Amino acid sequence: MSDIFQEVEEDVRRERYEKIWTLYGKYFVALAVLIVAGVAAFEAWQRYDLGQRQRVSDQLQEANQVASSGNYVRAETDLSAIAKDAPSGYADLAKFRLAGVYLAEGKRDQSVSLLRELSGISDPILSSAARMRLAWTLADASPKPEIATLLQPLMTKDNPWRFAASEVIAYVDLKDGARNQAIGEYQQIAQDPAAPAVLRQRAGGISEFLKANPQGSVSPPQPAGAPAAAAASAPAQGKKP
């Protein structure tokens, strides 16, 4: 008896499915086609996007090589084009390198403008590097409060840029005539075990040089002709009076 009821139930269910399919089957097929087409289009876009990014990456590398060779005119043209048309990340990298090229060409205002723009972007590494380079670019001509305000976001306790920022402040104090304060700041960097070894060594060398040469001074980094990323944190080198 139960077999009869089961057969009736299966017939009813089959009939219901057939009606649903008759009414909505074409929509199911269309939806499946759209899903397949969407997946195919997404995969095609991924391949295209990857190819475009690789192309821009190659262009940026070539422009960097041109700049490093000293051909600043061509480098400016190439980097400007990348900065204008490339995806945001590559465009920002091109602008950062372009800022260095502007400095090498003596176009300080254009460089400062680009660095100010980059110091406000969301990428914490590139924005911090831009902020550091901007501070060094302004260090000789701007008052200490302006430099300190610019570097303040980098001076927090856990910020890895705090030691490099402190070096800029020490240089500005030295430039402004606060020699003993500057020596103390260099020594503080040199004695901080959390500071990078290279920076500790450089700060220690500068402090010893300044103590041994009462009229001696140091120079800010000279990034012209150097790769932009390296120049952003380049050391101040001691020079004899």
Q: For the chain (length 241 residues), average pLDDT per consecutive 10?
A: 53 63 64 61 55 75 88 93 87 94 94 95 93 94 95 94 95 94 96 94 93 84 40 35 31
227 burial (CB, 10 Å; 0-12 / 13-18 / 19+) is middle
Q: What are phi and psi of 33, to 5 degrees?
A: -65, -40
Return the structure tokens found at 46. Answer: 């991924």
Note the pLDDT of residue 225: 34
Domain ranges within the chain, ordered by starting residue: 1-118, 127-241
Note the pLDDT of residue 79: 93
d(CA 235, CA 199): 8
Note the pLDDT of residue 101: 95
Q: How many residues does the chain have?
A: 241
> pTM of this prediction?
0.71
Note the pLDDT of residue 24: 65
CATH of 1-118, one of 1.10.1040, 3.40.50, 1.25.40, 1.10.357: 1.25.40
Note the pLDDT of residue 30: 65
d(CA 152, CA 173): 16
Note the pLDDT of residue 237: 37
Q: Quick check: 140 and 148 in contact, CB under 8 A? A: no
